[in-house]
Amino acid sequence: MKIKITPLLPLLLLGSLFLTPLKNTAQQLRVSENERFLEYDNGKPFFWLGDTAWELFHRLNRQEAAYYLENRAEKGFTVIQAVVLAEFDGLHAPNPYGEIPLIEDDPARPNEAYFKHVDFIVNKAAKLGLFIGMLPTWGDKVVKRWGMGPEVFTPENAYIYGKFLGERYKNDPIIWILGGDRNPDNETHIAIWDAMAKGIREGTGDRQLLTYHPQGGSGSSKWFHKKDWLAFNTFQSGHGARDIQNYKTLIHNYNLSPTKPVLDSEPNYEDHPVGWKPEELGWFDSFDSRRSGYWSMLSGACGHTYGNHNIWQMLDSHREPVSFARTSWRFALDHPGAFQAGFMRRLFETFPWQNLVPDQSAIKGENPDGPAHQVAAVSSEGDVLLAYTPYGKALNIDLSRLKAPDIEARWYNPRDGRYWPVNSFTNDGKTKEFKPHSAGRGSDWVLVLAAGHYFPGQ
């Protein structure tokens, strides 16, 4: 076997990683021909890197919204998930300009002044190359169950409201997200979402994608997988426990028929109390956040959503914290997990990530389900293999899964966005052990095995 030791390959570090926001060259998205990922309408793959900013339209003024969006663009986010009729008394508590969204709680009578503020944020996002994952309403306005409500939607006014939104934003970079953290309880609820989807599609000329955001532990495929308006599935792995194995839900959705892209649109939030019991169970940290991302992406996801408990509610000194939130949203913007989400995107976009196929057969030896579960994917061309080891346990890789005769091996550190050298070798098709540089909780690593042309000049 030919061995060549290579030097350390530094990547751009935290503050400089996304100095120039990545502009959209095409304004609309579509599902790829193989129905596994999203792409711009010019055929360029679109990596969904979302951030949950549910209260963005409702709680931030224009200066604050611009600051937030610029921060997210610099870090490499591509989708901002935000709600028009917001959760926290969104029908009656006004936005920073004293406006409420509906006249007399009637979805068929939107307040133009409120939507001027939404327009500003949508336009600012577009200038930064960001898509808005727009939720027309939080789910409590359809299925109260908990929260403030009130329930104001019927199939009739849901259609009118959806068409209004579709016509208003048909030329903007929008992805429509119905649901809003609620599951339908009955056929009437399903009819409301169907009607809203119909209105949006008619208003946009069917030019924009729609999906559905369910409550924790649920996924859109349970109710809507075969609906023609559902372009891709999302699920919410949520915040109820540590070590939620979202790769299992991802694989389940990946294997459904008909084939549709899928992603985790609300995983463990960074700085969220585990199971809402901080004194007993502690808090989710950046490791919890990034592990859910790598578990997802190497199990077939079309992207992933990061979230921070303080940001989604836009916590500030003059607001009561929700569910033990403890940090100003401005400070939380620069928590480690947000940078690391950008590192993840940059790693995947080094390769034709859209061609990666989950392949657990590439990992040999013991690999039980649980906190340290390892995942792997191989490109359809057989020239790239990525494997993730959450606790730094050695990876035993079946090299026969790769077709490339000569392989460059690298360890990628998802905490700081750096490559560490391993070696170059001739592929003998046997099983080879790769041991990372550290082990234990928080010492996660990504093994990169690729044909040499992905590392020119190295």
Q: SS3 string of 358-370?
A: ECHHHEECCCCCC
Q: What percent of the chain has pLDDT over 90?
A: 91
**Domain 16-352, CATH:** 3.20.20.80
* The pLDDT of residue 457: 55
Q: How confident is the model at residue 458 (pLDDT cuts 50, 70, 90)?
A: low
- What is the greatest pairwise CA distance in the chain? 75
pLDDT recorded at residue 440: 96
Confidence at residue 7, expressed as pLDDT on a 0 to 100 scale: 35
Q: What is the mean pLDDT of residues 285-300?
A: 98
What average pLDDT does this structure show over 318-343?
A: 97
pLDDT of residue 12: 38
Question: Tell me, which fold does domain 355-454 have in CATH?
Answer: Immunoglobulin-like (2.60.40)
Q: 446-455 pLDDT, tens per residue?
A: 999 999 888 8
What is the model's pTM? 0.94
* Model confidence band, residue 250 (pLDDT cutoffs 50, 70, 90): very high
Q: pLDDT band for 364, please (50, 70, 90 cuts).
A: very high
Q: Where do the structural domains in the chain lie, given as residue ranges?
A: 16-352, 355-454
Mean pLDDT of 309-324: 97
Residue 421 banded pLDDT, cuts 50, 70, 90: confident
Residue 389 φ then ψ, to 5°:
-120, 105
pLDDT given at position 2: 34
Q: d(Cα 389, Cα 445) in Å, to the nearest integer?
A: 6
Mean pLDDT of 372-390: 98
Residue 174 Cα distances to 32, 213, 413, 443, angstroms: 17, 15, 33, 37
Residue 26 pLDDT more than 50? no
pLDDT of residue 19: 39
Mean local confidence (pLDDT), 408-429: 94
pLDDT of residue 455: 81
Q: Which residues, in sequence order, are CB contacts of 331 under 8 Å at separation 6+?
A: 310
User: Does the structure show a pLDDT above 50 at 29?
Assistant: yes
What is the signed CA dihedral for 200, 203, 208, 210, rounded to 10 degrees? 10
Is the Cβ–Cβ distance between 11 and 410 less than 8 Å? no
Look at residue 3 and tell me whether its pLDDT is greater than 70: no
Q: What is the pLDDT of residue 340?
A: 98
Q: How far apart are CA 362 and CA 400, in angstroms?
A: 8
**Residue range 286-306: mean pLDDT, rounded:** 98
| pLDDT, mean of residues 78-92 | 98
Band of the pLDDT at 18, cuts 50, 70, 90?
very low
More confident residue, 2 or 438: 438
By mean pLDDT, which of 27-31, 86-90, 135-139 is the weakest? Answer: 27-31
Q: Is 6's pLDDT higher than 90? A: no
| 375 phi-psi bin (left φ>0, alpha ψ -120 to 50, beta other) | beta
pLDDT value of position 456: 63
Look at residue 137 and tell me whether its pLDDT is greater than 90.
Answer: yes
Average pLDDT over residues 410-430: 94
**Is residue 50 classed exposed, middle or buried when 0-12, 13-18 and 19+ CB atoms within 10 A define those classes?**
buried
What mean pLDDT value characterizes the chain? Answer: 94
| Position 232 pLDDT exceeds 60 | yes
